[in-house]
Amino acid sequence: MKKIVLLIETSREFGRQLLIGIARYSRINGPWSFYKEQIGLKSSIPRLTNWKPDGIIMRNSMIKKELLKLKIPTILALHDSAVPKNMPVVKTDSLAISKLASEHLLEKGFKNFAFCGFDNYEWSNQRKMYFENFINEAGFKTYIYQSAKKKNSDWENEQLHVINWIKELPKPVAIMACNDDRGQHILEVCKLIGVKVPEDVAVIGVDNDPMICEIGDPPLTSIALNVESAGYETAQLLDELLGGVKMKGQQITVSPTHVVQRQSTEILAVNDADVAIAIRYIRENAKNKILVNEIVKITKLGRRALEQRFKKNIHRSIYDEIRRVRVEWISKMLIETDLPISEITSLLNFTDVEHISRYFKKEKGIGLSQFRKNHQPR
């Protein structure tokens, strides 16, 4: 039986989902024996050495250097970017995460955007850079939070810094937080200073950790990641390394699947009443086939005038907005349910599977089955 050291936290959804994926691979292809104790002391090294592990999968650890000296197949899923040469890693797709966050906030009709992260983490800085790029491409400015200059500042001290930053932001503003913890910080600050969420400040986080997102007041919108699938792939790669494949910097990518919207972004920041009415109608009726003329009829405008206002306010045509919302419904059902594609076709009132497949692929660039395979937990 292969002996595997797992130094992965269980206090966060990311770590828990990673472990679930690893355990699933072990049940199918193992069994493996796991050493799961959260180790932080060098005194644990002799005990581990005596256990004679075959491989290691670990997140951040105070004894990373000591573990690497064991010279056995190891995969790192680290917060930082300091990875030894040729070491296999698990990394999040910061570009795709930031793209999804920017799209979600832009579709709400906001004109002011901000990013709040942790300056000392490379993954946070990457998300900041990509988010700012996407917002700039849409023609808007991003206000970036700069951490307090005082080193090792605790949250109580930094909270004052965040309060001043929130107060100075133009309102209404949409904020991407680098993760759910940062999103929760923003929600707490807004509550302390009487800033309304989402009316004045809309917030989206990353990780979709229910323990953090649901405890927020209001609950935090977040980007879900396919961590469980990545955990399965990580165990699969480790199995290959144990079988003789060389460590050569292989990378397992954790990708975003979809936005789980909660109250922190449940708003339309569109000043144009006719556009707001049209968008709301599209979202409330997205399960049905919607025609552009149908949208025009519920407003006081002609088709040309409404099209112009759509492009001015949300940078999309009426048809593009209908397609986008419909495709997001399809995506949600592919990821969150096990319904056959034929049943999803019927529920969303498409004529047949071929029709829904073409419709989806034109928007996402990928087929229905492949999308489900890529994003749904194994």
**Token pair belonging to 311:** 């492009």
The single-letter code of the amino acid at 161 is H
Run of H or E including 108: none
Do 53 and 119 sit in the same domain of this protein?
no
Residues 98 and 220 in one domain: yes
- Per-residue model confidence as pLDDT tens digits over 161-209: 999 999 999 999 999 999 999 999 999 999 999 999 998 999 999 999 9
Look up the CATH number of the domain holding residue 318.
1.10.10.60
216 and 108 share a domain?
yes
Based on the domain organization, do 169 and 244 belong to the same domain?
Answer: no
Residues 213 and 98 in one domain: yes
CA distance 352 to 346: 8
Instruction: Report the pLDDT value the prediction gives residue 372, as an integer from 0 to 100.
Output: 87
User: Count of CB atoms within 10 A of residue 225's CB?
Assistant: 24
Summarize pLDDT for 284-294 with one digit per residue, the tens.
898 888 999 99
The pLDDT tens digits of the residues spanning 22-67 come to 999 999 998 899 987 654 545 556 667 777 889 999 886 655 677 7
Amino acid at the residue 340: P
Rounded distance between C-alpha atoms, residue 204 and residue 263, angstroms: 10
Contacts with 176 (C-beta within 8 Å, 6 or more apart), sequence order = 98, 101, 102, 105, 113, 114, 115, 116, 127, 131, 204
Which residues are 204's β-sheet partners? Answer: 176, 221
Quick one: 172 and 231 in the same domain? no
Distance separating alpha carbons of residues 325 and 322, to the nearest angstrom: 5
Q: What crossing angle do the helices spanning 368-375 and 318-336 adopt, rounded to 10°?
A: 50
Range of the domain at 129: 94-224+259-265
Task: Note whether 132 and 80 are same-domain residues.
Answer: no
Which value, to the nearest 10 degrees, does the dihedral of the CA atoms of residues 185, 186, 189, 193 take?
-170
What confidence category does residue 332 fall into, taking pLDDT thresholds of 50, 70 and 90?
confident
Q: Is the dihedral of CA 175, 176, 178, 182 positive or negative?
A: positive
